[in-house]
Structure 1
Amino acid sequence: MPRTFDDARRWARLGTDLFTGAAALDAAGLDAPSTLPGWSRKHLVAHVAANADALGNLVHWAATGERTPMYSSPQERAAGIERGAGMPAAELTAWLRRSTAELAASTAALTDTQWQSPVVTAQGRTVPADELPWMRSREVCVHAIDLGTGITFADLPDDFLAALCDDVVGKRAQEPGPALLLEATDTGASWKLPGEGEQTVLAGPLHEITACLTGRAHALTSPGGGSVPALARWL
């Protein structure tokens, strides 16, 4: 079943709670590595806080018609994350709380008409503003796992996981990669990823399928116990 606007808003709220709860760490905990190569947990918290501010720019655009890009440049985006990673723990988590609260308040104020206003993402895609909750839900749900505090894809709702798999397959199908058929043994859903070489069939629980598709650690094995073709990280 295709995801709905209400679904995305629900997932964004759930993911926000998961992420902010997992990020409520002391200084040593935030300084520890995340599961993303080269990033501490502080880098990841700064990224998610900055993303809330950036999406807030698009909410402002939708509400007022004033063009306000997510970021002024890729360099500014990267510099903001580095600044955040250098903040004291209390200051960083306060930024996270403030930015998420401001995003929630600004989106709650949008009218039905404003939700249909076109805005431009950081990747240059023009989308209606009602895509913003889905964009945010991906950030907070997936990065809650990337913090490495024990949250896994199994902690996320099946309907979100299925929607995320649809989204990832749609993107990966446009890029070079291995040919895969992924079958969720617990829900009966499947995804076909066109690519190079002979198709590999991977079967397992939906949460493991999602982890594999997003380039995260998973427990899937190829038929006969062989290695699973590697996928680059997504998001």
Structure 2
Amino acid sequence: MTDGTRTSADAREWARAGTELLLDAVADFDEAGFSASSVLPEWTRGHLAAHVAANADALCNLVHWAATGEQTPMYASAEERAAGIAKGPALTADELRSWLTASAHRLAGGLDGLTDEQWQHQVVTAQGRTVPATELPWMRAREVCVHAVDLGTGVTFADLPSGFLTALVDEISTKRGLTGLPDGPLPEVAAWLAGRPHTLADAPELGPWL
């Protein structure tokens, strides 16, 4: 249940906190709010909300896999994944908010229902990695926490749980093959590693992540 600086229980709490931040951020959005630009290039907030909602639906497929042994991939195809994101701007604000909320609650309920044995069952991510179901809360925590910032409503990396930021920095720096990190506050280092806007002086530019 442990991977370096995090546990599955940690990740479930971070996913809960990130979901709360994200749902609070969109609570008062009307159509104009969702059609405004996000922090991510070429994505509106509607695209981003649809992506996060579709991610919850996809992770529910992996929860089903872990619970039943029936192989249910996150997405049937790359085209299906893209279609889920693309339909965001076509939905009304209420429809998009309802999808975002319902999918998040359905995923949380599915995770809560897994037994100790089912948590150890192996599933396959959209990137083709075979992982135990204990990895699913971390996958969701990354999505909701980072994308809560990406909405561009004023939520920053400093608003995310410090334990999450530590685990995120550890994971991304390892994946990027970095042996050293710039000096600076943890939230700014995490933002830099994630390829998001930051205040670190003289830090080299990194490519996109997540």
2:186 paired with 1:234: no
* Cα displacement (A) at 1:160: 0.8
**Pairing 1:160-199 to 2, within 5 Å after superposition:** 160-173=164-177, 181-182=180-181
Larger RCO (alpha carbons 8 Å, 6+ apart)? 2
Task: State the shift of 1:84 in Å.
Answer: 2.3
TM-score, length of structure 1 as denominator length: 0.85
Match of 2:95 among 76, 91, 95: 91
Larger Rg over CA atoms = 1
Contact 2:18 2:144 in 1 (8 A): yes
1:18 is the counterpart of 2:21: yes
Q: Pick the structure with more helix per residue.
A: 2
* 1:165-187 Cα distance to aligned partner (Å, 9 max, x none): 011112212xxxxx6721xxxxx
Which of the two has greater strand per residue?
A: 1
Give the equivalent residue in structure 2 for 1:188.
none
Question: How far is the alpha carbon of 1:27 from its aligned partner?
Answer: 1.4
SS in 2 for 1:232: coil
The Cα offsets for residues 64-102 of structure 1, whole Å up to 9 and x where unpaired, read as 000000001111100111012211111111111110111
58-67 vs 153-162, greater mean Cα deviation: 153-162
| Cα distance in structure 2, aligned partners of 1:118 and 1:157 | 28
Select the residue among 188, 191, 197 that pairs with 1:217: 197
Counterpart CA distance in 2 for 1:221 and 1:5 is 34
Give distance in 1, aligned partners of 2:70 and 2:88: 27
Q: In structure 2, what is the Cα distance between the partners aligned to 1:64 and 1:40?
A: 36
The percent identity for this pair of structures is 62
Aligned residues: 206
Q: CA RMSD in A?
A: 1.1
Q: Where in structure 1 do 4 or more consecutive aligned residues deviate above 3 Å?
A: none
